[in-house]
A = this chain, B = another copy of it.
Amino acid sequence: MTPLQLCKCLADETRLKIVMRVRQHGELCVCDLVDTLGQPQPTVSRHLSQLRECGLLAVRKDAQWAYYRLHEGLPAWAMDVLEALQAPVGKQFPLKPDQRSGCC
């Protein structure tokens, strides 16, 4: 995970939103992301694959659902970047439990 790779991962609106929201919630399933992002499921899934392959996100699969989280092995500087980016964007999307899609 180089700084350039991280920046490229975050240089797309959908991916940036995904990472920020996953960071806020600790763990999110794909259907929650699809609902709140308003983007078609294949699009979200493609971006998730990308974020997984570059080591930014990790998955946990439970039955038919997939739960994404920040990868534990992320270096400290990367976590610092995400924290700094959350300041202006993150606060705007506080997702209360009762606003969840409830799909899973």
Contact = CB atoms under 8 A, between A and B. Distances in A.
> What band does the interface of chain A fall in when counting residues whose beta carbon is under 8 Å from B?
20 to 34
Nearest to A5: B11
A76 B76 CA distance: 19
Interface string A67-88: 0000000011110110111011
B85 A81 contact: yes
Contacts of A6: 85
- Identical copies of this chain, number: 2
Contacts of A34: none
Contacts of A10: 3-4, 7, 11
A13 B6 CA distance: 12
A96 interface: no
A83 B75 CA distance: 14
B81 A3 contact: no
A89 interface: yes
Interface of A: 2-4, 6-8, 10-11, 13, 16, 75-78, 80-81, 83-85, 87-89
